[in-house]
C-alpha cells in the first residue's frame, strides 16, 4: 500500500451520523472485482447518498458540490463505518481518493480495514469535529493537514489538534506495510526454512 506520512488536502464535511459500511459500499456492488491500480470502487462509494434512483448525482449532497469534489480528507459524523466487516468499504474510500478520515468515532473493524489499505482514521472530540465542520462550510474548498508522524491535525483556522494511534499501526502506515508486506519482510528466512525443510523431506510434492 502507499505510505502515509503527511497529507495536506481538500477536506469536506460529512455531518451524517452512523454511516455504516452498507452505505459506504452497498451490498449489490460486492461482486465487483477489484484490480490493483484501478479505481473499481470509486462509483460505489456512498452511491445511494451521491446518486438518485436514476443514477443522477444529487446536487445537494456535499461531495457533489464543486468546492468539495476531489476531497481526500473527510470530517465525518459519529460511528462512521459501523455495521458489517466488509473490506470493500475501505476499498471504496481509497478508490474514490480519500486517504484520511477525521471524526468522533468509527466502527472498530472498519478502522482495521482502513489502516490495512493506507487510510488514516483520526478520532477527535465531538466539539473539535463540529468546529471543523463549521470551518469547512464557511470556506468551501479549504485544506486541512493530517500529520501522522506528529499525530496532529491542522484545521483551516491553523489550530492544531493532537490524536492518538497505535504505535504498530502508525509504523506500518508510514512504511506502507499491510499484513502481507510485514510477512514479506521475512521472506529470506521463510525461503531458507522451506528449502531446509524440503531437503529433509524430498518426497514432498513441489509447489509451482
Is 91 a domain residue?
A: yes
User: What are the C-alpha distances in Å from 100 to residues 29, 73, 153?
Assistant: 23, 5, 10
pTM equals: 0.87
Question: What domain range includes position 166?
Answer: 6-200
Residue 202: the pLDDT is 83
pLDDT score of 186 more than 80: no
pLDDT category of residue 37 using cuts at 50, 70 and 90: low
Is 104 a domain residue?
A: yes
pLDDT score of 96 more than 90: yes
> What average pLDDT score do residues 140-145 get?
97
Residue 182: the pLDDT is 64
Domains of the chain: total: 1
Percent of the chain at pLDDT above 70?
Answer: 94
Higher pLDDT, 126 or 199: 126
Residue 4: the pLDDT is 96
Separation between Cα atoms, residue 82 and residue 74, nearest integer Å:
16
Which residues are bridge partners to 57 per DSSP? 51
Residue 81: the pLDDT is 97
DSSP alpha helices (H): ranges in 12-164? Answer: 21-24, 47-50, 88-96, 108-116, 126-138
> What average pLDDT score do residues 36-63 get?
90
> What average pLDDT score do residues 115-133 get?
97
Q: E-assigned strands of 46-167?
A: 73-76, 100-103, 120-123, 143-147, 152-154, 160-162
CATH code assigned at 61: 3.20.19.10
Residue 129: the pLDDT is 98
Is 205 a domain residue?
A: no
Is 208 a domain residue?
A: no
Amino acid at each position: 500500500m502507499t505510505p502515509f506520512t503527511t497529507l495536506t488536502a481538500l477536506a469536506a464535511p460529512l455531518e451524517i451520523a452512523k454511516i455504516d459500511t452498507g452505505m459506504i459500499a452497498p451490498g449489490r456492488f460486492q461482486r465487483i472485482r477489484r484490480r490493483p491500480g484501478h479505481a473499481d470502487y470509486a462509483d460505489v462509494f456512498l452511491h445511494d447518498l451521491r446518486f438518485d434512483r436514476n443514477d443522477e448525482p444529487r446536487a445537494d449532497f456535499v461531495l457533489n458540490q464543486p468546492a468539495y469534489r476531489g476531497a481526500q480528507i473527510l470530517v465525518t459524523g459519529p460511528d462512521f463505518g459501523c455495521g458489517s466487516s466488509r473490506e470493500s468499504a475501505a476499498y471504496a474510500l481509497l478508490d474514490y481518493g480519500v486517504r484520511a478520515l477525521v471524526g468522533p468515532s468509527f466502527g472498530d473493524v472498519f478502522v482495521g480495514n482502513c489502516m490495512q489499505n493506507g487510510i488514516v482514521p483520526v478520532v477527535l472530540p465531538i466539539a473539535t469535529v463540529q468546529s471543523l465542520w463549521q470551518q469547512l462550510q464557511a470556506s468551501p474548498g479549504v485544506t486541512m493537514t493530517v500529520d501522522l508522524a506528529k499525530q496532529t491535525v491542522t484545521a483551516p483556522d491553523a489550530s492544531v489538534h493532537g490524536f492518538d494511534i497505535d504505535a504498530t499501526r502508525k509504523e506500518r502506515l508510514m512504511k506502507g506495510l499491510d499484513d502481507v508486506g510485514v510477512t514479506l519482510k521475512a521472506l529470506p528466512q521463510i525461503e531458507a526454512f522451506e528449502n531446509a525443510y524440503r531437503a529433509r523431506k524430498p518426497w514432498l510434492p513441489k509447489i509451482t
